[in-house]
Structure 1
Amino acid sequence: MPTTFTLIDLAGSIALLVLGTQMVQTGMQRAFGVALQSLLARSLHDRGPAFIAGMGSAAVLQNGAAAGLMTAGLAAEGRVDLVPALAVMLGANIGATLIVQELSFDVAAVSPALVLVGVLMFRKASNTRAHDLGRAFIGLGLMLIALHELLDLMTEYEDAPSLRVLLGATSTVPLVDVLLAASLSWAADSTVAAVLLVASLCAKNVVPPDTAFALVLGANLGARQPLGA
């Protein structure tokens, strides 16, 4: 029974992390999507600016695939060459990595303030961009709460031998690891949520480094790619 409750808590925390990630993506996309696409269009004349634009877009949207989608749209219009497009995707991957690194720090103490500010902006702001930013702040707060809960669960996990055996058996097959992480990344439409989960598991020594590599590989493979990219 404790193992069942622990699994439910773990699934709920992962669901909260996914929900928070999607709220941040939606809010930032609505608030800055048009501006970011315009920035990308102006930066695609050279690989350096294209790299920086891709990194910034992925950091703001918390999704490297979103930067790829915008780049694919510009490519379909014949406004981007191959080399700058590749530079955008490289920058997008690095930007997503930096976001994961920042969110992995222990900053859960600010999550209630983020949710409070986000709710006030979402409910009271008359400006459309402020309204969308409120949604993003709520999502960011939920992400930090979910990560804090995941770390607590991983600490309790050390005292649950049956759960350790279950997850340990899962992590012994690399292909299963890849498929699991790919499924989560696809469902969340974000590599950030999946990689944050892997980082939480690895921080508590729940999964060994080789399993973590397989999970991260699966998270990147599972990211939804734009059609025609």
Structure 2
Amino acid sequence: MTLINLLFNLSLSLLIFGISLRVLSTSMSAFLGTRLQKALIVLTSNSPLSILTGAIATAFVQSSSTVNVLMVTLVNANLLNLYQAFGVVLGANIGTTVTAQIVSFNLSQYAIPMMLCGLFLFPWTNKSRIAGSSLIGLGGLFFGLNLIKQSLWPVLAYPLTLKLLISLSENIYLGIVLGIVFSAIIQSSSLVTTLVIALAQMQALNLQSAIAIALGSNIGTVATTLISSIGLSKEAKATAYADLLFNVLGVLFLLPFIKQFAFIISLTSQDPGRQVANAHTIFNVITAFLIVPFIRPLANLARRCAGI
């Protein structure tokens, strides 16, 4: 089989995973409906509450981009101020790590039963349809992840792939750049992190390199938020810039300590995939709460970036 065919199979596997993630996200958004928007407006009276609200909302809808774009929209409509929205954005970065935690479990054997149960529930009531599509999406995640692993094995045998993996293990900056570019192109940090988890579980990527790519994906996924702010108010643009500043500063903060961080994370689990998922979660939780005392200064810096 040629490299082109192998890459096509891998791309198809990633597409199946991405579609499944979108189905799950759309189903949960439909379930929450306008309640999500109302909750985000009401439950943002202080920074800790805003962070918690953002984390829970994103864990439900399985998409930090959805929540962050909604923040930009609500700020543009003057329903939230920048400080409130910034807290939710911090929480969204925590909530999005739930996807990585889910896929790090080896539950591919339950993928088909989940999707079959979802298909059974789909035709009945509106609520059962939402539950059914959620199960189809969740089952599709595990099914897609299994296909990704199967597609990766032949690709890893190619010398070019091996050279890239060796370069990544020797240069964390290359890993960060790769994470930024890949995540910005496909507009999903969850998909990038899932691919990294699969590579780690296959022993094809060391923990430090995996963490670097995951960190880069945090920055790259902000592209969606930045694009959504085009043509909106300066305050809405500042919300998108605040998201970018937070993610860039978080990566810069960890870079000098990435070896020590990787060592600590290695103690949390024997499973390399679980280690990557834990690193993603712990990093986002720590940086979110470290930034809380500096929300106003960072928000003001974001305003200046937006020309306010």
TM-score by length of 2: 0.64
Partner of 1:217: 215
Counterpart CA distance in 2 for 1:185 and 1:25 is: 18
Counterpart CA distance in 2 for 1:144 and 1:167 is: 27
Of residues 157, 165, 168, the one that matches 1:168 is 165
Matched letter for residue 57 of structure 1: A
Alpha-carbon deviation of 1:132?
3.4
Alpha-carbon deviation of 1:220?
1.8
C-alpha change, 1:120 and 1:181, in structure 2 (3 Å) is: farther
Looking at both structures, which has the greater relative contact order when contacts are Cα pairs under 8 Å and sequence separation is at least 6? 1
Of residues 134, 138, 141, the one that matches 2:139 is 141
Of residues 178, 202, 205, the one that matches 2:203 is 205
Contact between 1:45 and 1:80, CA under 8 Å: does it hold in 2? Answer: no
Matched letter for residue 140 of structure 1: L
C-alpha change, 1:70 and 1:4, in structure 2 (3 Å) is: closer
Alpha-carbon deviation of 1:119?
1.7
Counterpart CA distance in 2 for 1:7 and 1:191 is: 20
Matched letter for residue 192 of structure 1: S
**Secondary structure class of the residue paired with 1:125:** coil
Alpha-carbon deviation of 1:60?
1.0
Alpha-carbon deviation of 1:33?
3.6
Contact between 1:6 and 1:153, CA under 8 Å: does it hold in 2? Answer: yes
Counterpart CA distance in 2 for 1:21 and 1:170 is: 30
Number of residue pairs aligned between Structure 1 and Structure 2: 226
Structure 1 range deviating more: 146-155 or 176-185: 176-185
Partner of 2:128: 130
List per-residue Cα deviations over 1:26-46 (Å, max 9, x = no partner): 222222242111111110112
C-alpha change, 1:87 and 1:77, in structure 2 (3 Å) is: same
Counterpart CA distance in 2 for 1:76 and 1:2 is: 50
Alpha-carbon deviation of 1:191?
1.7
**Secondary structure class of the residue paired with 1:78:** coil
List per-residue Cα deviations over 1:43-87 (Å, max 9, x = no partner): 011223211110111111111121112222222233334433222
The alignment yields a C-alpha RMSD, in angstroms, of 2.7
Contact between 2:182 and 2:192, CA under 8 Å: does it hold in 1? Answer: yes
C-alpha change, 1:7 and 1:169, in structure 2 (3 Å) is: farther
Alpha-carbon deviation of 1:192?
1.3
Contact between 1:154 and 1:206, CA under 8 Å: does it hold in 2? Answer: no
Q: Counterparts in 2 of 1:1-229, with a 5 A limit?
A: 1=1, 3-122=3-122, 124-127=123-126, 129-154=127-152, 160-162=157-159, 164-165=161-162, 167-168=164-165, 171=168, 177-178=175-176, 180-223=178-221, 224-225=224-225, 226-227=228-229, 228=237, 229=239
Structure 1 range deviating more: 171-180 or 7-16: 171-180
Structure 1 range deviating more: 6-15 or 100-109: 6-15
Structure 1 range deviating more: 73-82 or 35-44: 73-82
Gaps of 5+ in 2: 230-236, 240-308
Gaps of 5+ in 1: none
Counterpart CA distance in 2 for 1:187 and 1:137 is: 27
Counterpart CA distance in 1 for 2:9 and 2:165 is: 18
Counterpart CA distance in 2 for 1:111 and 1:27 is: 17
C-alpha change, 1:2 and 1:163, in structure 2 (3 Å) is: farther
Contact between 1:108 and 1:144, CA under 8 Å: does it hold in 2? Answer: yes
Contact between 2:23 and 2:134, CA under 8 Å: does it hold in 1? Answer: yes
List per-residue Cα deviations over 1:161-206 (Å, max 9, x = no partner): 5364354367467666455544543454432122111111122222
C-alpha change, 1:207 and 1:183, in structure 2 (3 Å) is: same
